[in-house]
Amino acid sequence: MDDFDEFYRATHRRLLRQLALVTGDAGEAEDLLQEAYARAVLRWDQVRAFEAPEAWVRRVALNLARDLAKRGRRRIAAFIRHGPPPAVPDLSPDSVDLARALATLPLRQRVAVVLHHVGGLTVEEVAAELGSPAGTVKTLLYRGRAAMARQLGDEEKGRVLHHG
C-alpha cells in the first residue's frame, strides 16, 4: 500500500472500532486515531516500508490513549490533594462582546491588545514578547483598538479603549 489514502481507507474503520472499545469513547477514539494518522502521514515514506504500517498506527494511537489516561489520573490525584479548582465566573455580556471583537483581529494585533490591556504589560514588554519594535506595538494597539471599537459600536468604544 504505497498510497496513504488507500491505507487510510483500508484501515480506518477497523482501527477506530478497536480504539473505541479500548477507550470506551468513540469521540475520543476518533481524536486519538486522527492524531496517529497525522503522525503517520508525516513519516509515510518510512511507515509504509514497515512490515505492518497498521500496527504502527495502532501503537501510536494506543500510546496516545495511555498518555491521556495518565493525565486524567494526575488530574484526579490533584483534585483529591487540592480540592476542586476555584469556580470560573460566567462571562458577562461585555466580556462575550469583547471576546468576539478580539477574535476578529489579526493574531498579532490580538496578542498585543490582550498582553497590554488585559495582561497589563507595558508597550516595551509587549514589544519584547513579540520581538518587535515598540513603535510597531503602538501601531498594532492603535489599529486593534480602532477595529474593536468599530466592531462593538460607538456606545462600547470607551469601554474597549479603556478595558483592563
Q: How many domains does the chain have?
A: 2
Same structural domain for residues 139 and 119? yes
pLDDT tens, 60-96? 999 999 998 888 888 888 888 888 777 766 667 667 8
Domain region containing 75: 4-82
Q: Which comes out higher in pLDDT, residue 101 or 139?
A: 139
Same structural domain for residues 75 and 113? no
| Residue 126: all three cell numbers together | 509587549
Which CATH number characterizes residue 103's domain?
1.10.10.10
SS3 category, 37:
helix
Residue 9 corresponds to which amino acid? Answer: R
Q: Is residue 31 a part of any domain in this protein?
A: yes
Same structural domain for residues 64 and 23? yes
Q: Which of 24, 54, 82 is the last residue of a domain?
A: 82
Rounded to the nearest angstrom, the gap between the alpha carbon of residue 62 and the centroid of all alpha carbons in its chain is: 22
8-state DSSP, 87: P
Sign, CA torsion 149/152/156/161: negative
pLDDT tens, 103-158? 889 989 999 999 998 889 999 999 998 999 999 999 999 999 999 999 888 544 44
